Amino acid sequence: MAEPPPLILRPPVAADLPALSLLGVAAFVHKFGDLYRPEDLLPFLAETYSEAALARALADPANRFAVAERGGLLLGWCKLAQACPFPEHARGRRTMELKQLYTAPRAQGGGIGAALMDWAMAQFSALGADEVQLSVWQHNPGAQKFYRRYGFAPVAEVTFQVGGQLDEEFLFARML
């Protein structure tokens, strides 16, 4: 039996925008789509994962992205921000954020999230971060377990807005 092609992490390019958009929407809807009314979810997806929104985010030098692909197929992506999303909870002097980490629903459990997380942590170190923050839905124990494996722990309760709905989230953080 042939060995699968290697997983490649690389910066995204403009030609990746359609695949980034589709994967972002698919991953979010797969995990959270049933939590929202269409009138809240659809505008959120458009403002967050449209090709135009992702193009703006890619062009912003305060963000860093990586895509994970195998055999030319985009299977995941990650976005970092060199800003502190919750300064009132920051313990570091240079706190940054893991904004998004997505794996295609059909590819979950294949090490893609771990590869992207390893890349993210290396990027944070290279950028001089002394703390990393991320928010995770309070009712997503799988994601919480994943982030705990990387040394993250809850430091506060925060909210995440999708349309008119506020979700209860944990702010996880890790000192570097």
CB-neighbour burial class of residue 21 (10 A; exposed 0-12, middle 13-18, buried 19+): buried
The Cα 170–Cα 156 span in angstroms is 6
State both tokens at 171: 């702010």
Domain assignment of residue 50, yes or no: yes
Would residue 57 count as lying in a domain?
Answer: yes
Which pLDDT value is given to residue 109? 80
**Residue 170 domain-assigned (yes or no):** no
Quick check: is 34 in a domain?
Answer: yes
What is the model's pLDDT at position 33? Answer: 93
| Confidence at residue 174, expressed as pLDDT on a 0 to 100 scale | 98
Q: List the CATH number of the domain containing 62.
A: 3.40.630.30
Q: What is the pLDDT of residues 118-151, one digit of tens each?
A: 999 999 999 999 999 999 999 999 999 999 999 9
Q: Does any domain span residue 2?
A: no
Q: How confident is the model at residue 110 (pLDDT cuts 50, 70, 90)?
A: confident
Phi, psi (degrees; rounded to nearest 5) at 169:
-130, 160
Domain for residue 101, yes or no? yes
Residue range(s) defining the domain that contains residue 110: 8-128
pTM of the predicted protein model: 0.94
The neighbour count for residue 165, using CB atoms within 10 Å, is 14
**What is the domain count for the chain?**
1
Among 75, 89, 66, which residue's Cα sits nearest to residue 27? 75
For 46, other C-beta atoms within 10 Å of its C-beta total 13
Residue 89 maps to a domain: yes
